[in-house]
Amino acid sequence: MNDSANTAYTADEMMTVAAARLLWPGCVCFVGIGVPSAAANLARLTHALDVVLIYESGTIGTKPDVLPLSIGDGELAETATVVVSLPEVFSYWLQAGRVDVGFLGAAQIDRYGNLNTTVVGDYAHPKTRLPGAGGAPEIACHARQTFVVLKQSTRSFVTTLDFRTSAGFLGGGNERKALGVNGTGPQVVITDLGVLKPAPHTNELTLTARYANTSVEQIKAAAGWPLAVAESVEIVPPPTQIELRALRDLNERTRRAHAQTRKMEMRT
């Protein structure tokens, strides 16, 4: 990792790279839009060439050259192994247990990895109405494990969710198992400040790693509850030149592709 020593990188880049490194060659990953999509494709372009990416639009084994803006861009269909219907992707593929990793984002997370993407404030009289569930509640249950990516602040790391859209470990301990779901839940939470994992038995999210330029104190201050910290907090190696170049190229291709209104050429 010496090649990164003199390279500047942003917190977002560090977060995306740290998330990408969690995927392994051949793993089947159900991908959400945003940082999860960037991280999953970065993995595919660097160390996990044959990772199988599934987007909920029914595109299975997709290999986009630019990041999709929406979950159903044409690029995803054109580069997929197969395109299936939406009822099929959720039933035959996700519910059937064929997904290794569900990659999710969220607006709010609590200490047991439960997620809110529905509403800030009261449901009936919301302060901020968020997009809602989409595929997340079932991804959170049926993927063998989930990775959650979000920026950490006292606004996103909250004591009590305004709405529980997707199950993590519910109230902790064995509560998730008692639900009867097959997936093992959020095994890693990656933020712009560090990495958290559920503690044995309690399943409370615990800080296990920070980045070279973040501190444990800073990370604790950015949580809405007294954050549990592992006895030994590792340091995630900074992005390598190869990772940074691949990510920046990907982002630049994506920016260019989305900035222009593509010509509407009629097929004759």
Partner 1 sequence: MSTRFASLDEVIAEFVRDGQTLALEGFTHLIPFAAAHEIIRQGRRDLHLVRMTPDLIYDQMIGMGCAHALTFSWGGNPGVGSLHRLRDAVEHAWPQPLQIHEHAHAGMAAAYTAGAARLPFGVLRGYLGTDLPHVNPQVRSVICPYTGEQLATVPALNPDVTIVHAQTADRQGNVRFDGIVGAQKEAALAAKTLIVTVERVVDSLGAAMNAIVLPSWVVSAIAVVPRGAYPSYAHGYYARDNAFYLRWDEIARARDTFRNWMQRHVLDCRDHAQFMQTLEAAA
Task: Give the binding site for partner 1 (CB under 8 A).
Answer: 33-34, 56-59, 68-74, 76-77, 83, 85-87, 90-91, 94-95, 114, 118, 123, 126-138, 140-142, 163-167, 170, 176, 179-181, 257-262, 264-267
Nearer to partner 1, 149 or 209 (CB): 149
Nearer to partner 1, 66 or 233 (CB): 66
In angstroms, the CA 264 to CA 212 distance is: 47
Q: How far is the CB of 235 from partner 1 (least distance, A)?
A: 32
Contact status, residue 69 vs residue 37, Cβ threshold 8 Å: no
Contact status, residue 120 vs residue 107, Cβ threshold 8 Å: yes
Beta-strand ranges (E) seen in the chain are: 28-31, 52-55, 59-60, 82-83, 101-104, 108-109, 115-116, 119-121, 126-129, 145-149, 186-190, 194-198, 205-211, 228-236
Q: Which of 56, 75, 204, 243 is catalytic?
A: 56
Nearer to partner 1, 90 or 147 (CB): 90
**Residue 180: partners with Cβ closer than 8 Å, 6 or more residues away:** none
Nearer to partner 1, 72 or 173 (CB): 72
Give, as one character, the DSSP assignment of residue 43.
Answer: H
Q: How far is the CB of 42 from partner 1 (least distance, A)?
A: 17
* Whether residue 75 lies in the annotated active site: no
Q: How far is the CB of 258 from partner 1 (least distance, A)?
A: 4
Which positions are annotated as active-site residues?
56
